[in-house]
Copies of this chain bind each other. A is one copy, B any other.
Amino acid sequence: MYYIGIDLGGTNIAAGIVDGNGTIINKGSVPTGRTRASEEIVKDMCLLVKNLINDAGIDQAEIHSIGIGSPGTPDRKNGVIIYNNNLGFRNVPIRKLLQEHFSLPVYLENDANCAAIAECVAGAAKNEPYVVVITIGTGIGGGVIIDNKLYTGFNGAGGELGHVVIQMDGEECTCGRKGCWESYSSATALIRQTVRAAAENPQSLINSMVEEDLGRISARTAFDAARMGDETAKRVVDQYIEMLAEGLANMINIFQPNVVVLGGGVSKEGENLLAPLREKIKSRTYCSEGVENTRIEAARFGNDAGIIGAALVSKA
């Protein structure tokens, strides 16, 4: 049997056909267009999945179920996304919408929780009992594993680790608060920081890299320009890692997990990101001497962790 995993992101909808071992057989993505109505988004999601099934030459009878990883707060029982800030969702009956296109069981879980499940089953946190997974994308997602089980709080809405204020009265967050970690350390925030720095420093390489069109700056731009020696970009990257470290040290002081796993596109920077990050975290951890320390790792499945985890959720 096969399992469809859908990772509904603020920027792209990614989906994959996953086999019983958690291996992706076929995958693809389309832009989310997150300012659109939820029905429109779901329509594109279904088209993407249908195309993947056709391309893989799989009979729909061989598909067991669909799992969706969505940012925000899921009502797992009823298959409804109660709330998400970046998609502007409130009570979107996603199971019902999908079942208008597929006569399959549909399971719903938070997207970062899906990534956490994938990394704990077969990835960077395999067999670890206490794990915090942070997904860096349009927002910051959090997945918490305690005693080998997903932690979601008494009402299923826990683990919103991106919505921890690290700067009172700071940057506006789309959740309505000011100064959330998400508004400093998401990919969206990194892009904003890069755009600001490029605008303030016309001589910076960042500007020529995007042919003076700041709208083309991505979350990779500052890292790329820094690698080429650009001082402005180095400063952007250093400050970004500093703020990421503040938030991660917070999570370590709270959870002291065996491992913190970083997912999302930014995690592809690997040791360029992780080495300075580990340094900055160490000096910020409440008690780092005399106890074993939390490991900081990149997600093994990178951006695919959400797809694999969503498929695994639908398997259970």
Contacts and interface: CB of A to CB of B under 8 A. Distances in A.
B165 A249 contact: yes
A72 interface: yes
Contacts of A254: 142, 144, 158-161, 164, 254
A82 interface: yes
A284 B176 CA distance: 8
A258 B158 CA distance: 11
Interface in A41-74: 72-73
B256 A176 contact: no
A130 B289 CA distance: 29
A160 B75 CA distance: 30
Nearest to A73: B287
A156 interface: yes
A275 interface: no
Contacts of A83: 286-287, 289-290
A167 B152 CA distance: 26
Interface string A134-157: 000000001010110001111111
A11 interface: no
A25 interface: no
A279 to B, nearest CB: 15
Contacts of A142: 254
A291 B82 contact: yes
A274 interface: no
**Complex copy number for this chain:** 2
A144 B129 CA distance: 17
Contacts of A75: 290
Contacts of A176: 283
A158 to B, nearest CB: 4
B73 A255 contact: no
Interface in A155-192: 155-161, 163-168, 175-177
Contact of A153 (B90, B91, B175, B256): B256
A154 B155 CA distance: 25
Contacts of A175: 286
Contacts of A253: 158, 160-161, 163-164
A224 interface: no
B160 A286 contact: yes
Interface in A4-48: none
A218 interface: no
14 contacts: A82-B290, A82-B291, A83-B289, A90-B290, A128-B154, A130-B153, A144-B254, A153-B255, A153-B256, A153-B257, A155-B256, A158-B253, A160-B286, A168-B246
Closest 4 CB pairs of A and B: A153-B256, A158-B256, A73-B287, A82-B290
